[in-house]
Chain A
Amino acid sequence: MSLKYTVDHEWVKLEADDVVLVGITNHAQEQLGDVVFVELPEIDTAFGQGDDISVIESVKAASELKAPVSGSVVAVNELLADEPNIVNDDPLDAGWFCRIKLSDPSELDDLLDEDAYNATLS
């Protein structure tokens, strides 16, 4: 499955009909600088598209990660607690943030494909 993206530099990977994995793009981790702490949501937290679901602390500042889709959290990346730098080293794979069960799969249509996302970077 190819990744989809948001204008806020998050990626979304469809794992099953109604489950996605979410993380931040390479552009985002470059902008943030060294990540020192990631605050992840509790399992079963429900939220709407655009709500803050995570806080990413870099050396200098905190940034919010917004939910690219509505749903509830079914898993979070435990590795980030001890090694937040994985977000910088491997943002698209090992640096995933959470697994979300979608409440409205049609929201996936709002997301950008790779070309459209890359166009926003220039």
Chain B
Amino acid sequence: MSEDSLLKTPLYDLHLELGGKMVGFAGYAMPVQYPLGIMGEHKHTRAKAGLFDVSHMGQVTVRGDNAALDFETLVPVDIVGIEPMTQRYALFTNEQGGIDDDLMVSNAGDHLFVVVNAACKEQDLARMQKGLPNCEVTAITDRALLALQGPAAAAVMARIAPETADMVFMDWRPMLIDGIDCFIGRAGYTGEDGFEISVPAEQAEAFARRLLAEDEVEAIGLGARDSLRLEAGLCLYGHDLDPSTSPVEGSLLWAMQKVRRADGERAGGFPGADIIFKHLAEGVTRKRVGLLIQGRAPVREGAELQDGKGNTIGTVTSGGFGPTLEAPVAMGYVATEFAKLGTELIAIVRNREIPVTVAKMPMVPQRYHRG
């Protein structure tokens, strides 16, 4: 895809001004890093506060008399039970019990506010429009999305918007910040405390500059976004989750609240429910696990995983170097009998055997602010 045909977010000019190294991602020109570099940006985020442009993601509103209940026909998640002004992680499933995308759903009072992955937003919009005929499903095309993540994010936001101080993890609300009509959620994709802020496109650059003017804040690119989420054990759709992985295989049972499970009040009613319930009842043949790596060589996506006897028993689905761990780190799927914590396996990298160990996720402690 030529540079010219890549889409630009409202912060494109700012990225260039900040020295962002631009690459194509999901059809957008996005900064993979700035002069600070991926390691520096990653460490800064965990030490202070990092500002990410995630405007390429899809923002959608869903309105209807029974929007939450209707939405439950698309996901194995309790949407009806999302308290007003809070949000929840959800999964679009398919008829094979696999996952077609992961997303966030916020209860905005009189509507649902949904954020989906950039690479899937067209399909997701179509799915919602087709699957929710009694709802008005509208793509928001005039807003940017920013994420401010790290232990200093709360202090920074408290200065700029004092009302954020009483928000806890997964709270979400509309808020006027500096006179700007924002939607702000206390969540993110790094394992750190932080906020995701939807800002009208024409005010996004000014808002970003406002945040960057704070001492603790640095601009962070997609390279560090990936290493941060990897250390946090968070899935990247299209890599750790895909249409062939069920939520049970993906170790995402926690996202499927009891009320939607086989013996729940609103059991099933989403695509692939039968298969997913079978997985729950009978178990699965493979599971997503975290992996800690011996040595310094990264073990990357696609690497074969073997038991100690040369048998292939799994594959790495995400892998790279973890700057906080100061070591390589990975996630992958292994045959269920090898999924126990502490299991020692072998990863094959350039024909060499690298010892790896099944590890608890997240690999770096989570620091969500639960109040």
Binding site for B on A (CB under 8 A): 33-34, 36-37, 39, 55, 57-60, 62, 81, 84
Interface string of B288-315 (1 = CB under 8 A from A): 0000000011101000000000000000
Query: Which of B30-38, B45-53, B100-108, B270-278 is near enough to bind chain A?
Result: B30-38
> Are A60 and B297 in contact, CB atoms less than 8 angstroms apart?
no
Question: Given that A59-B323, A60-B32 are contacting pairs, would A33 and B223 also be in contact in the complex, using a CB cutoff of 8 Å?
Answer: yes
Question: Given that A36-B321, A39-B350 are contacting pairs, would A57 and B38 also be in contact in the complex, using a CB cutoff of 8 Å?
Answer: no
CA distance A55 to B38 in the complex (A): 19
> Are A37 and B298 in contact, CB atoms less than 8 angstroms apart?
yes
Question: Given that A34-B38, A37-B297, A62-B298 are contacting pairs, would A55 and B321 also be in contact in the complex, using a CB cutoff of 8 Å?
Answer: no
Total number of B residues with any Cβ neighbor in A under 8 Å: 19
Total A-B contacts with CB atoms under 8 angstroms apart: 44
CA distance A36 to B299 in the complex (A): 12
> Are A62 and B38 in contact, CB atoms less than 8 angstroms apart?
no
> Are A60 and B296 in contact, CB atoms less than 8 angstroms apart?
no
Known: A37-B321, A62-B298. 10 other contacts (CB 8 A): A33-B37, A33-B38, A34-B323, A36-B296, A36-B328, A37-B296, A58-B38, A59-B38, A59-B42, A60-B226
Question: Given that A37-B297, A37-B298, A39-B297 are contacting pairs, would A60 and B320 also be in contact in the complex, using a CB cutoff of 8 Å?
Answer: yes
Question: Hey, which chain B residues are within 8 Å of A81, CB to CB?
Answer: 296
CA distance A59 to B33 in the complex (A): 11
> Are A57 and B298 in contact, CB atoms less than 8 angstroms apart?
yes
CA distance A36 to B320 in the complex (A): 10
Decide if B318 is an interface residue (CB 8 Å cutoff). Answer: no
CA distance A63 to B42 in the complex (A): 21
> Are A59 and B321 in contact, CB atoms less than 8 angstroms apart?
yes
Decide if B117 is an interface residue (CB 8 Å cutoff). Answer: no
Question: Hey, which chain B residues are within 8 Å of A33, CB to CB?
Answer: 33, 37-39, 223
Question: Hey, which chain A residues are within 8 Å of B246, CB to CB?
Answer: none
In angstroms, how far is the closest chain B Cβ from the Cβ of A35?
10
CA distance A62 to B350 in the complex (A): 11
Binding site for A on B (CB under 8 A): 32-33, 37-40, 42, 223, 226-227, 296-298, 300, 320-321, 323, 328, 350
> Are B300 and A62 in contact, CB atoms less than 8 angstroms apart?
yes
> Are A55 and B323 in contact, CB atoms less than 8 angstroms apart?
no
Query: What is the chain A residue whose CB lies nearest that of B35?
Result: A30
In angstroms, how far is the closest chain B Cβ from the Cβ of A92?
19
11 sample A-B contacts, Cβ–Cβ < 8 Å, listed by A number = A34-B38, A34-B39, A34-B323, A36-B39, A36-B296, A37-B297, A39-B350, A57-B321, A59-B227, A59-B321, A59-B323
Query: What is the chain A residue whose CB lies nearest that of B227?
Result: A59
In angstroms, how far is the closest chain B Cβ from the Cβ of A30?
10
Question: Hey, which chain B residues are within 8 Å of A37, CB to CB?
Answer: 296-298, 321, 328
Q: Considering residues B37, B42, B323, which has the most beta carbons from chain A within 10 angstroms of its beta carbon?
A: B37
CA distance A58 to B39 in the complex (A): 10
> Are A60 and B350 in contact, CB atoms less than 8 angstroms apart?
no
In angstroms, how far is the closest chain A Cβ from the Cβ of B302?
12
Question: Hey, which chain A residues are within 8 Å of B328, CB to CB?
Answer: 36-37
Query: What is the chain A residue whose CB lies nearest that of B300?
Result: A62
CA distance A59 to B320 in the complex (A): 6
Question: Hey, which chain A residues are within 8 Å of B40, CB to CB?
Answer: 34
CA distance A33 to B36 in the complex (A): 10
Question: Given that A60-B32, A84-B296 are contacting pairs, would A55 and B350 also be in contact in the complex, using a CB cutoff of 8 Å?
Answer: yes
In angstroms, how far is the closest chain B Cβ from the Cβ of A90?
16
Question: Hey, which chain A residues are within 8 Å of B223, CB to CB?
Answer: 33, 59-60
Question: Hey, which chain A residues are within 8 Å of B321, CB to CB?
Answer: 36-37, 57, 59
CA distance A57 to B350 in the complex (A): 12
Partner of B39, one of A39, A55, A57, A59: A59
CA distance A39 to B37 in the complex (A): 22
Question: Hey, which chain B residues are within 8 Å of A39, CB to CB?
Answer: 297, 350
In angstroms, how far is the closest chain A Cβ from the Cβ of B319?
11
